[in-house]
Amino acid sequence: MDFELMINSFPKLISAAVITLKLLSVSLIVGLFIGLLFAILRINKNSIVNKFAYGYSYLFRGTPLLVQIFIIYFGLGQIEYLRTTFLWVILKEPYWCAIIAFALNTGAYTSEILRSAFQTIKPGIIEAGKSLGISKKIIFYKIQIPIAIRQSLPAYGNEIILMMKGTSLASTVTLMDLTGVAKYIISTTFKPIEVFIVAGGIYLFMTFIIHNVIRLLEKKYKFN
Amino acid sequence: MELLAFGDTGWGDELFYATLMTIAVSITAIIIGFCFAAIFTPLKLSKKKIFNLIANSYTTIIRGVPELLVIYLFFFGGSGAVMFVASIFGYNEYIEINAFITGAFAIGIISGAYSTEVFRGAVQSIDKGQFEAAKVLGLSKFAQFFKIIFPQVLRLAIPNLSNVWQITLKDTSLISVTGLVEIMRQSYIAAGSTRDPLFFYSFAAVLYLLLTFLSMKLINKLEIRYSKGY
């Protein structure tokens, strides 16, 4: 055990963890909107809209995240037309490519989580809203969405943790996130166990925090 | 399309073998995972606190740490560990372990943590009466488990195990960082030499979709087979 290395690499890994958290939070926020949009499309009665949303979630849940990042980072840059548009400003940066891939990926899983939450809302609740003379729009925004969010909290908590682990793939497109820095230290010192303990410990700590925050939220918004 | 031709002119045959490699790694990994689950599920269900602690730390650590980090640990640490053991026996040359074994083992340990949770849940949701009835019938402990409990556990576990299989299959793409030529690595090589990454990575995505689709069909059949009588 090389304790000196562990202590020396700790600050480097912590500052890398900040990048991991940045990647995670931005892609979660964007992903949540994508997920909500596609969940609404999924419960739409129009079968074309419905199939489109299903196709999106099937595509992103059926392929590895690594393929998705590579297609966006290496693949899209190949299209000559894209290089001339303003999108190129975003797509040439590995940071934004990673975020696009993560957001689309977590969006697909989130849409499934929210869809099942929407579908398990008791029809009586919506009918009660209707009989009170509340407009459809308000029923949707003020009744269906809050209940769906509450019901999907436990599953969404898992998704956040899975996504946090997913951000480690940013290191494959040259980003120095927690895993990227850990790999760099391992490959220069050849002390994999020590670095793994420190980096893994930081990841576990973040998992622990996320897990408990979700538990708190679940308790706070509990209803019978 | 000529990019996918078989033979020397295209990448068809290379990608075909790469797909077989992905399937081989995934199956090896999930079997290794089942072995881990076979060890850790009893520990998790045991009444001894110390056993619970060991099993819980295994599943918590593996499920809270990114797969890629675990793969790096095995990739860089694996040969070191083997060389350390070899040096005890007086062999001091450099030993490199096969990328297949390292990869399958790393993914297997990850998959094992998920399988352990699935099996634990399945055993716990079996009615207590089943255990008691098995005991009352005077069956041996071995028969109690393999003839009565295990078939029921399988029935309950298969739907969740199919999720574990999907995760395992997708995780094998990460082994490409160690240089094992599976779908991702082969696409990377092909994309590099033809300068057509969009095509090859999209094709890789199609291959993965095909694998997940076909395995779902197969698992659904298994599910029906094991739920006979329910």
Is residue B114 within 8 A of residue B37, CB to CB? The reply is no
Q: Please state the domain count of chain A.
A: 1
Contact A186 B76 (CB under 8 A): yes
User: Quick one: pLDDT at residue B168?
Assistant: 95
Q: Is B139 on the interface with A (CB under 8 A)?
A: no
Q: Is B179 on the interface with A (CB under 8 A)?
A: no
Cα-Cα-Cα-Cα torsion B119, B121, B125, B128, nearest 10 degrees, comes to: 70
Q: Is A82 on the interface with B (CB under 8 A)?
A: no
Tell which of B63, B65, B195 to mutate to test the A interface (max A CBs under 10 Å): B65
Tell which of B3, B56, B59, B68 to mutate to test the A interface (max A CBs under 10 Å): B68
User: Quick one: pLDDT at residue B27?
Assistant: 96
pLDDT at B126 over 70: yes
pLDDT in tens, B3-40: 777 777 778 888 999 999 999 999 999 999 999 999 99
Selecting from A71, A161, A186 the residue whose C-beta is nearest the C-beta of B201 gives: A71
Chain A residues 149-168 with CB within 8 Å of chain B: 161, 164-168
Selecting from A62, A165, A190 the residue whose C-beta is nearest the C-beta of B66 gives: A165
Tell which of B76, B166, B219 to mutate to test the A interface (max A CBs under 10 Å): B76
For residue A186, the distance in angstroms to the closest alpha carbon of chain B comes to 7
What is the span of the domain harbouring residue A108? 3-220
pLDDT at B1 over 80: no
Q: CATH number of the domain that A19 lies in? A: 1.10.3720.10
**HSE (side-chain half, CA atoms, 13 Å) at A137:** 0
User: Quick one: pLDDT at residue B85?
Assistant: 80
pLDDT, mean of residues B180-196: 90
Which tokens go with A110? 């989130």
CB atoms closer than 10 angstroms to residue A154 = 14
Could you tell me the domains of chain B? 2-226 (1.10.3720.10)
CB atoms closer than 10 angstroms to residue A61 = 16
Q: What is the DSSP string of chain B?
A: -GGG-SSSSSSHHHHHHHHHHHHHHHHHHHHHHHHHHHHHHHHHH-S-HHHHHHHHHHHHHHHHS-HHHHHHHHHHHHHHHHHHHHHHTT--S-----HHHHHHHHHHHHHHHHHHHHHHHHHHTS-HHHHHHHHHTT--HHHIIIIIIHHHHHHHHHHHHHHHHHHHHHHGGGGGGGT--SHHHHHHHHHHHHT-HHHHHHHHHHHHHHHHHHHHHHHHHHHHHHTTT-
pLDDT in tens, B67-114: 999 999 998 888 777 777 888 887 777 777 788 998 999 999 999 999
Residue (of A90, A105, A88, A74) closest to A167 by Cα position: A105
> Which band of pLDDT confidence, cut at 50, 70 and 90, is reported for residue B122?
very high
Q: Is B67 on the interface with A (CB under 8 A)?
A: yes
For residue B140, the distance in angstroms to the closest alpha carbon of chain A comes to 40
Which residues, 6 or more positions from B195, have their beta carbon under 8 angstroms from its beta carbon? A78
- pTM for this prediction: 0.89
User: Quick one: pLDDT at residue A35?
Assistant: 94
Q: Which amino acid is located at B55 in the chain?
A: A
Sign of CA dihedral B183, B186, B192, B198: negative
pLDDT at B138 over 70: yes
Tell which of A54, A56, A66, A97 to mutate to test the B interface (max B CBs under 10 Å): A66
Contact B201 A75 (CB under 8 A): yes
Provide the CA A104 distance to its chain's centre, in angstroms.
Answer: 8
pLDDT, mean of residues B188-207: 91
Contact B208 A199 (CB under 8 A): no
Give the C-alpha separation, A53 to A69, whole Å: 20
Kindly tell me the number of DSSP H helices and DSSP E strands found in chain A: 11, 0
Using 50 as the pLDDT threshold, list the residues of chain A that sit under it: none
**Element containing residue A193 per DSSP (H, E):** helix A192-220
Q: Is B191 on the interface with A (CB under 8 A)?
A: yes
User: Quick one: pLDDT at residue B87?
Assistant: 82
User: Quick one: pLDDT at residue A66?
Assistant: 94
Contact B212 A62 (CB under 8 A): yes
Residue (of A190, A214, A38, A206) closest to A109 by Cα position: A38
Cα angle A59-A109-A18, degrees, rounded to a multiple of 5 = 115
Give the C-alpha separation, B48 to A109, whole Å: 38
Which tokens go with B143? 């028969």
Q: How far is CA A52 from CA A49, B107, B120, in A?
A: 5, 33, 37
Contact A179 B171 (CB under 8 A): no
> In chain B, what percentage of residues exceed pLDDT 70?
99
Contact A166 B66 (CB under 8 A): yes
Q: What residues of chain A lie within 8 A of the CB of B187, using their CB? A: 70
User: Quick one: pLDDT at residue B3?
Assistant: 73
Is residue A195 within 8 A of residue A201, CB to CB? The reply is no
